[in-house]
Chains A and B, each alone.
Chain A
Amino acid sequence: MEKERDTVLVMPCSGVGKVHGLISREAAYLAVDELAPRTLDLVCLALLVREDEETLAKVKAYPCITIDGCGKACAQKNVEIAGGQVATAFQVAKALSKQRATQPGTGSELTEDGWMVTREIAEAVAEEVDRRCAYKEVT
């Protein structure tokens, strides 16, 4: 019950063509599997857009952290359209541009640079989860 009360959702980008989508998904997996496994839950973007009842209910019930690949921000926009609350919206393109020399890889593979950016985003997601849970405990 405690876990349910503190659940935060994470929704990554679904892009296949470029490295941005892969980084967003790997960052989400890293955050869910290792950094915040007790409080973070991953949801499918396509299921949300398809208006899957279970996914819609989750998005309406819990705050959602979105990790988009590019400025089209499909994940963020679709959570908002579904009536969900976007707690924080990350963007891989923004993270990459902060390190101009980075060669993150391709849509299939990540380089060392790509994994570094992935971990940075995952850690930022986990920090946001911790912050929200700490806030809940205080209030």
Chain B
Amino acid sequence: MAAEMNKTTKVGIISCSGEEIAEGTISRNAVRRVLESLRPHDAVTLCLPLFLAGNEGERNFARTHPTITIDGCDKQCARWGTEKHGGPVACSLVVSDILGDQAASCSRSLRHRTQADAQAVAIVAERIAAEIDALMSEGAQPEMPEDPSADVCACMKPVNTGLVTVKGQQVEIPALPLVFAEYAKQGLRADDAAAAGLIAKAKVFRYIAPEEEDEYTKALLEAYRVYLGG
């Protein structure tokens, strides 16, 4: 029973963004494989540049989850940033250390992907999964208790989308259900006071041309009205 209580529920993975090198692409694809198929229920991720730039939602994530950083090169930006802003990492991996010379034949673009890339991603993903298993079985503890209301970057964590009808066409707005839930929790009604906030939030997740803002605002208010039960 005590062991159950000590178990962590999620491990955070912070990936290198290393756009310049193949190892960066391998690190991101390996993280996606872990999240999509190897350990979908045990891991979450967050956006390194947002984290480094001071986004509190991202930093809160690292403080509230044991974290694994996966870097492309020995500059270790992910580890550096996490330790500076979120506290010590539970495990730090470097793709070039794991793969050695094997990464030399890999590509940074999907357009040039070969069997070598697939193998490299598989090796790194398996290593990340093994580290997650180790942390889960050790019952690694986060720096702080998890804050369920904390903001997490939409770029890194797939979010639910909501539909609104604009000029007769259905349009998807990412994170809309979350926005509606938060507004409802605050007791906001579907009126002009909520309109400015709704359009501002929607514009974070979807480009809305200035000439379309009025139509979108009406559509968002209508959808929010329906969400509140009419």
Identify the A interface with B (CB < 8 A): 11-18, 20-22, 25-26, 28-30, 33, 42-47, 49-50, 52, 69-72, 74-75, 77-78, 81, 91, 93-94, 96-97, 100, 107-110
Contact = CB atoms under 8 A, between A and B. Distances in A.
A57 B207 CA distance: 32
Given A12-B19, A14-B19, A49 B110 contact: no
B140 interface: no
Interface residues of B, number: 45
Given A42-B20, A46-B49, A15 B155 contact: yes
B50 A16 contact: no
B185 interface: no
B158 A78 contact: no
B53 A20 contact: no
Given A12-B19, A108-B29, A49 B52 contact: yes
B156 A17 contact: yes
A39 B169 CA distance: 42
A50 B80 contact: yes
Interface of B: 15-20, 24-25, 28-29, 31-33, 36, 45, 47-50, 52-53, 75, 77-78, 80-81, 108-111, 153-158, 169, 171, 174, 203-208
Contacts of A44: 17-20, 24, 77
Contact of A49 (B24, B25, B49): B49
A30 B111 CA distance: 9
Contacts of B29: 108
Task: Choose among A45, A52, A94 the residue with the greatest number of B CB atoms under 10 Å from its CB.
Answer: A45
